[in-house]
Chain A
Amino acid sequence: MSRERGVIIAGAAETDAVGKLPDHSTLQLHLEAAVNAVADAGLTLRDIDGIATVNAPGPMQVAHALGVTPAWMDGTGVGGTSFLLHVRHAAAAIRAGYASTILITHGESGRSRVGATPFPRGASSIPGQFEAPYGTTGPTSTFTIPALRYMKEYGLTHEQLAYVAVAQRKWAARNPRAMFRELITVEDVLASRVVAWPFHLLECCLVTDGGGALVVTSADRAADFPKPAVHVLGTGESMDAPLISQMADFTESKAFRLAGKAALDEAQISTADVDHMMIYDAFAHVPIYGLEALGFTAKGEAGAFIAEGNTEPGGRLPLNTNGGGLSYTHTGMYGMFAIQEGVRQVRGEAAAQVPDVNISLVVGNGGMFASSGVLVLGRRAR
């Protein structure tokens, strides 16, 4: 397949605020983010000819509310990583000539639940029949289940798991928009209340309101925008199982591994080329699985790698530099915020800016290790 026609992110912005926004509906969060991203690109909504967002409220509702009649639509909804897949699909659409300037939006009233769509899970669905009867209560009680198996197989300690939250709080402390900024210790994490053992409250993501949006277009227009172009150098998507009980291997993420390999291969880079990384962190074990699946450490070593300080400020692999879902924000479908921070780092405009980021690697998660999209973002065209 020809990759000759490069694709860039020309505009990227979040809602004016993230956190507790009871005066914003889900749709309003989409629209505010969309307007901000289009302005960030120096464009107007009349320039948009393609739209992608998750299936609720859906691309038609968002486009119509903005007065856009798209020539291309994508409603891929595979959980919180969906927006990374939208970037991948948008790149393909631009290369195919289906659209030239594509808007990708996220908005979610995850905390305030204003105008939010109920989470669908009927009693006759597969999870409704084979998981819900056992008292599942959403991600805190399901996404977390593989961790004990990993701990037994690879010797990850409770202290190492807790340290993931400690490391990310160090980044959040540098980000004025982060919901939690006060430094914490392993003891603080282990003293926070148990939510779903072995997970404590501080090892679980926030629940917030917010949104973000992107404008994706072809790289031949890279000089036309006010902000530095962020090149989409590689993309990947894959899946594991839609039910946590059916995850292929509880000690590794097949979706991260396959999507990551596709993205790194397309970008023709190795892990040594990565200056900055985002891994969707709904819970403290997810960055551990992400580092191993993408090949940054050997299997079983990522917990120690984080505990040794490699991913925190001053470390050799800056990870989740906005503070992540654990400390920055987590609306429910966090993937858009991981992309936003990758874009900011490549542009050089992040709150906790890492020096000289040429390559940012963004690893998204959907569902409970169910799906993944991965993006390689770069300052320069390949």
Chain B
Amino acid sequence: MPANAAPAARPAAARPAPAKALPEPTPETQPFWDGCARGELVIQRCIDCGKPYFYPRPVCPECGSTNVEWFTASGRATLYSYVINHRPARGFEAEAPYAIAVVELAEGPRMMTNIIGIPNTPEDLVLDMELQVEFEQRGDISVPVFGPPAGEKTS
């Protein structure tokens, strides 16, 4: 929206905190989001070739088979790469600067995530460090995020 079309400013106190972007599940991704709601990281693998994969889709990216199944991943991962974003997205203002990370699941697939329970600084976020999935409730949907394995939190 151009700046000149913005609604008239309201008093800050009356303005609701901006919300983070929420995912909107589609039929083929619904089992993943249903898993998150139960506190489980549910991804897919190919029955024919055995390849686990993410993001959800009905075709194995390794061999092209449609003979695929859902399974509950361990939730263990390592930190593969990240940036520390200084220009926050809507809803992330209070957390900035914050890490946008890609983790590698123990089963192999990679996924984007946020890192919780560790200061999001270059010194504290060390590539290949071990992480464990947790779930962050946002409105009606639960989003997977990653933090240090239980008992190792530093913040």
Whether B85 and A246, one on each chain, are in contact in the complex, defined by CB atoms closer than 8 angstroms, is: no
A240 nearest CB across to chain B (Å): 13
User: Quick one: closest B residue to A130, CB to CB?
Assistant: B55
| Stretch in B8-16, B44-52, B75-83 with 4+ CB within 8 Å of A | B75-83
A126 to B102, CA, bound (A): 16
The one of A131, A135, A136, A250 in contact with B80, judged by C-beta atoms closer than 8 angstroms, is A250
B2 nearest CB across to chain A (Å): 7
Whether B84 and A136, one on each chain, are in contact in the complex, defined by CB atoms closer than 8 angstroms, is: no
Whether A243 and B55, one on each chain, are in contact in the complex, defined by CB atoms closer than 8 angstroms, is: yes
The one of B29, B83, B98 in contact with A148, judged by C-beta atoms closer than 8 angstroms, is B83
- B151 touches A (CB below 8 Å): no
Instruction: Encode B21-61 as 1/0 by CB contact (under 8 A) with A.
Output: 11111100100000000000000000000000001000000
Interface members, chain B 72-131 (any A CB < 8 Å) = 80-89, 91-92, 95, 97-98, 100-102, 110-114, 122, 127
Whether B89 and A197, one on each chain, are in contact in the complex, defined by CB atoms closer than 8 angstroms, is: no
Whether B100 and A145, one on each chain, are in contact in the complex, defined by CB atoms closer than 8 angstroms, is: yes
Interface members, chain A 191-217 (any B CB < 8 Å) = 193-199
Contact partners of B22 in chain A: CB under 8 A: 123, 133
Whether B83 and A196, one on each chain, are in contact in the complex, defined by CB atoms closer than 8 angstroms, is: yes
Whether A141 and B83, one on each chain, are in contact in the complex, defined by CB atoms closer than 8 angstroms, is: yes
Contact partners of B83 in chain A: CB under 8 A: 141, 144-145, 147-148, 196-199
A236 nearest CB across to chain B (Å): 23
Whether A134 and B113, one on each chain, are in contact in the complex, defined by CB atoms closer than 8 angstroms, is: yes
The one of B26, B95, B127 in contact with A152, judged by C-beta atoms closer than 8 angstroms, is B127
A110 nearest CB across to chain B (Å): 15
B6 nearest CB across to chain A (Å): 14
A209 to B9, CA, bound (A): 30
Whether B24 and A135, one on each chain, are in contact in the complex, defined by CB atoms closer than 8 angstroms, is: no
Main secondary structure, interface of A, reads mixed
- B20 touches A (CB below 8 Å): yes
A244 to B82, CA, bound (A): 11
Whether A148 and B127, one on each chain, are in contact in the complex, defined by CB atoms closer than 8 angstroms, is: yes
Count class of interface residues, chain B: 35 or more
Whether B138 and A133, one on each chain, are in contact in the complex, defined by CB atoms closer than 8 angstroms, is: yes
The one of A113, A123, A137, A250 in contact with B89, judged by C-beta atoms closer than 8 angstroms, is A137
Whether B84 and A135, one on each chain, are in contact in the complex, defined by CB atoms closer than 8 angstroms, is: no
Contact partners of A149 in chain B: CB under 8 A: 80-81, 127
A146 to B100, CA, bound (A): 11
- B143 touches A (CB below 8 Å): yes
- A2 touches B (CB below 8 Å): no
Contact partners of A146 in chain B: CB under 8 A: 81
Contact partners of B98 in chain A: CB under 8 A: 135
The one of A113, A144, A243 in contact with B2, judged by C-beta atoms closer than 8 angstroms, is A113
User: Quick one: closest A residue to B23, CB to CB?
Assistant: A129
Contact partners of A133 in chain B: CB under 8 A: 20-23, 138, 143
Question: Of residues A149, A152, A194, A245, which shows the largest number of chain B Cβ atoms within 10 Å of its Cβ?
Answer: A245
A109 nearest CB across to chain B (Å): 12
Whether B23 and A196, one on each chain, are in contact in the complex, defined by CB atoms closer than 8 angstroms, is: no
B127 nearest CB across to chain A (Å): 5
A113 to B24, CA, bound (A): 28
Given contacts A123-B23, A146-B81, A250-B80, contact A135 B86 (CB under 8 A): no
- Residues of B at the A interface (CB closer than 8 Å) are 2, 20-26, 29, 55, 80-89, 91-92, 95, 97-98, 100-102, 110-114, 122, 127, 138, 143
- Residues of A at the B interface (CB closer than 8 Å) are 113, 122-124, 126, 128-137, 140-142, 144-149, 152, 193-199, 243-246, 250
Across chains A and B, which 3 residue pairs bring their CB atoms closest together, nearest first?
A: A149-B81, A123-B24, A129-B23
Query: Can you list 14 pairs linking A and B with CB atoms under 8 Å apart?
Result: A123-B24, A124-B23, A124-B25, A130-B55, A130-B111, A132-B23, A135-B98, A141-B85, A197-B84, A198-B122, A243-B55, A245-B111, A245-B112, A250-B81
